Chains A and B, each alone.
Chain A
């Protein structure tokens, strides 16, 4: 089985430019810039069926096709890598950034060539100190080798790339909030339209792309879209960096064909639950995805299949709930997180999320009252899609609405017995 995303990652250290090039690194830059037109690169990405790995699963090539091209296109255009990984339970981008920083630099160059972007920023969270150091060194090495800067490989096209270190806050991972952050503004989300592809950073055409998504691009350019589609178990192309955390025997990350069944990920790779614990459910792709439970164990973990059963693949890093952990307590933890990270711009999110957190706390303290579950359900409706300015609150209620459905008995027992029925906590 091929693992293009992680093949260069070793247990210690990271490949500097000589080692990276010995394993075929920067061949994609040469291939794209010397042998392909920008639109041929975008067409290859479209044909590969690559879908965005940041959580939304939007087709990458289609997104690129909205960027104005040609001599009349506004200049400069921007390519921004969203390396602000902060979705609870998600730890895949850190692994790529620390293990293979040149992989991202090359991916940014090839993608920027397709878009004819002149400037690139890697929007990196503060906590990823090791990644920052390595990325900056990789960028300097790529400059010295002539892969960045003016007139790259004699093409007449120039590209400048730098790391932007951020200063916290989950909402900065929302693409329009991220653009405000980069402009030095208060990072609240922007209304869409206009979409960033047309009017983004500093009002210019901009593509914002997740780390893992970008890592796929050089491989598509060198090996071709058909090869890429062949990596997957479904018609969505490529491999996926899956992860598992919670009380499993072997928490970790694995690069597997897209569409790997949940059962295989949980039991073969993560080793199943720790001794004495049983599976109750999992968040398939970070905190803002609906729970999957026992009946979903044979679901293929690709964007379309997970949507069919009412959840989202999200980031593909599962968070496992065991039978000795209180689902109400887990929801309380999640809603406190979302309430704290709400930017406060729109009222439903700013006021609704703290309300859900307080209701869940009350249930945990044994102070739940009849009607509380219906109140929580109403919040799930009124904080849902279309009711708020951005996707934070709709994401926040996904685990809650599904927990209310799948773990209803536990919620009711908290009210009936006036206590947490899992006393002893997690």
Chain B
């Protein structure tokens, strides 16, 4: 069951649009911020609140790359793989991340701290290559910077 405070927060968003379903991204994000991902059970509960079928809501949820329908680690690392980052050393940054974390894209470290995912252009191209860890942006990366950022973040 969804936590009562989460249900109350979702309820607040239902009046912000002419239809309840229009609040579905807000609702799914509230669930995800609390549980890190959206389970089938929570998806069904949210769908009922939005007066949508679970299948319809899943059709929306699974479309977006930032709504996680599978468990993820404590921090999601989003590595920009678009053209400006590719031109300025993305491949070396990614190689170092994979080596240090011991995971490939789509995987979570054994200690459950980090999940590694590709991300399209983060809109910070004059500081490429860039990545986000959770909600923090890290810019002007190279393999050594990756080591420093991970160390400052507590490592894996």
Contacts and interface: CB of A to CB of B under 8 A. Distances in A.
Contact of B83 (A166, A247, A337): A337
A237 B67 CA distance: 40
Contact of A186 (B50, B59, B91, B122): B59
B84 A89 contact: yes
Interface string A244-263: 11110001110000000000
Interface string A156-170: 000000101111111
Interface string A175-213: 000000111111100000000000000100000000000
B126 A253 contact: yes
B89 interface: yes
A330 B87 contact: yes
B87 A426 contact: yes
B22 to A, nearest CB: 4
Interface stretch (B4-12, B25-33, B108-116, B145-153): B25-33
Contacts of A372: none
B67 A91 contact: no
B120 A333 contact: no
A32 interface: no
A247 B67 contact: no
B19 interface: yes
A355 interface: no
B125 A251 contact: yes
B86 A333 contact: yes
A283 B87 CA distance: 13
A426 B86 contact: yes
B66 A126 contact: yes
A165 B26 contact: yes
Given A167-B29, A183-B19, A184-B21, A243 B63 contact: no
Given A184-B19, A184-B60, A317 B87 contact: no
Contacts of A244: 126
A212 B86 CA distance: 26
B60 A91 contact: no
Nearest to A333: B86
Interface residues of B, number: 45
Given A184-B23, A187-B63, A319-B84, A202 B121 contact: no
A169 B73 CA distance: 21
Interface stretch (A80-88, A104-112, A390-398): A80-88
Contacts of A91: 123-126
A348 to B, nearest CB: 20
Contacts of A87: 121
B88 interface: yes
B156 interface: no
Interface string B97-129: 000000000000000000000011111111110
B125 A90 contact: yes
Given A330-B86, A330-B87, A90 B19 contact: no
Contacts of A74: none
Interface string A318-334: 01111001000010011
Contacts of B83: 88-89, 283, 287, 319, 330, 333-334, 337
A170 B121 CA distance: 9
B65 A93 contact: no
A247 B60 contact: no
A127 interface: yes
B19 A88 contact: no
Interface string B34-71: 00000000000000001010000001100111110000
Interface of B: 16-19, 21-26, 28-29, 50, 52, 59-60, 63-67, 78, 81-84, 86-91, 119-128, 132, 135, 137
8 contacts: A91-B125, A126-B66, A128-B123, A168-B64, A185-B60, A244-B126, A287-B82, A317-B125
